[in-house]
A and B are shown apart, each in its own frame.
Chain A
Amino acid sequence: MPYHWRWDVFLEPAPAGGTTYLGWMLAGLRMTVGLSLASWLLAFGLGSVMGVLRTVPNRLLSALAAAYVEVFRNVPLLVQLFLWYFVAPELVPIRAGTWFKQLAPNTQLFLSAMLCLAFFTGARICEQVRAGIQSLARGQRSAGLALGLSLAQTYRFVLVPQAFRIIVPPLTSEILNLFKNSAVASTIGLLELAAMGRQLVDYTAQPYESFIAVTALYLGVNVLILLLMRGVERRSRLKGTLGAGGVASQ
């Protein structure tokens, strides 16, 4: 039986939400973007702190950060998500668990997915930040300390600002990875873009149109992030490094 293409299916009213199937799709896209943004902010903060801890001259703190990275890099993302959603609420203190279970179901899903993506991505950002700090000349740290800055001040004013500017390109790919990884939230039932695609297949029986639309939306946002980050990369280049184009343009 030949496949019957029906692209106008998106304009038909959806069975819930008082909107069309296109409306469902866009709601899914909003959820994906919202989840990615919230997770990114958390991941960036967590990864930066852990990345700094990995380089401080304190055995305990750097071992702690190293353990964090190993755990979150060596367990599959899907398993981590299920651990956050099904296991963590049982193992935290009773009051926190009860609080979580009394939240609206969608809020529970969103929080679990957000924490999962944040801790997973944070471990990768941690490694980037560490590499960035370690790539700086040793003299930077010594000079900061010799000027009478405390260790914290040396990090705050000398090391971290430079490291961040060096690692913008790898951070770009982490943003893209996080955005793609957010699709894993569909497995616990959060209605983000991929989940909406599957739901559309169930309701409309037009799998190809649904999947093509979802895939196109992922590709579109992907390109958008790339263009945006290319601008950031251009503005944040560290003067005097090869990345600044100084060598080539002279």
Chain B
Amino acid sequence: MSGYDLDFSSVPGALPFLWTGMKVTLRITVTAILAGIAWGTVLALFRLSGNRVLSAFSAGYVDTFRSIPLIMVLLWFFLLVPAALEKLLNIPRHADTRLTSAMVAFALFQAAYYAEIIRAGIQSVSRGQLFAALALGMTGWKAMRLVVLPQAFRAMTPLLLTQSVILFQDTSLVYVSALTDFFGAAYKVGDRDGRLVEMLLFAGAVYFAGSFAASRLVRHLQRRLAR
């Protein structure tokens, strides 16, 4: 038997604070999903463009981000973004730019992972679709936008969503900047009340419930798309 008495009584009182943390987590997640998919699409198109410079840039970008630990990427952005903001927008360096830095870092990092999924999705569309669109007189860009991309996105939605669930979990790493996301909030409450064990278990359970439900939904969607 363990000698520890679990006592979850400090959880209910902490819920409003945890919810403010969860809002930070969700803001970072949603921004990174939207910006990451947009930039990832551009990177995928660069890669497939047939232009040597653009395709080399895209390959270099994707490979670099995928070879560096996310924690290092975050540390880099917490260093670089404030310096850049000061130079470009004259925002003082001591202003709290951690949330902005986190959003930028996750968006640019995730874009590298989304780009590979989107590239595979585009390549899975049959060639005839593109040829038919061109034969109908569409320009290359129009054919891509109206014919190829919609089909590609339909096929890769499950993978993009799975990657987004991983992103949701990974946002907890903003812990390195002491930004109070959901995990940071749970840790602070637990530390304050001397109930770290219970708060960490609670945080784990919440992440599990969210990710598990989302993965189930993705699987359901996948089955429907396959039909």
Binds B, one of A44-52, A70-78, A102-110, A141-149: A70-78
B133 CB–A CB distance under 8 Å: no
A68 CB–B CB distance under 8 Å: no
Contact A187:B183 (CB < 8 A) given known A211-B79, A215-B76: no
A190 to B127, CA, bound (A): 51
A186 to B177, CA, bound (A): 13
**Inside 8 A of B197's CB, which chain A residues have their CB?**
86-87, 90-91
How many residue pairs between the two chains, A and B, have CB atoms under 8 Å in the bound complex? 106
B56 CB–A CB distance under 8 Å: no
Closest Cβ of chain B to A120, distance in Å, is 11
**Inside 8 A of A183's CB, which chain B residues have their CB?**
69-72
A214 to B208, CA, bound (A): 32
A71 to B1, CA, bound (A): 23
A207 CB–B CB distance under 8 Å: yes
B211 touching A194, Cβ below 8 Å: no
From the candidates A91, A211, A215, name the one contacting B4 in the complex (CB within 8 A). A91
**Inside 8 A of A83's CB, which chain B residues have their CB?**
200-201, 204
A75 touching B169, Cβ below 8 Å: yes
**Inside 8 A of B3's CB, which chain A residues have their CB?**
94, 97
B2 touching A211, Cβ below 8 Å: no
B24 CB–A CB distance under 8 Å: no
Q: Among B75, B173, B187, which residue has the most Cβ atoms of chain A within 10 A?
A: B75
Within 8 A of A (CB), among B203-221: 203-204, 207-208, 211-212, 215
Interchain residue pairs A-B with the least CB separation, the first 6: A183-B69, A76-B169, A74-B211, A180-B69, A222-B67, A90-B4
- Can you list 14 contacts pairing A with B, beta carbon distance less than 8 Å? A76-B172, A79-B172, A80-B204, A82-B200, A83-B204, A86-B200, A90-B197, A97-B2, A180-B68, A183-B71, A197-B75, A211-B72, A218-B68, A219-B67
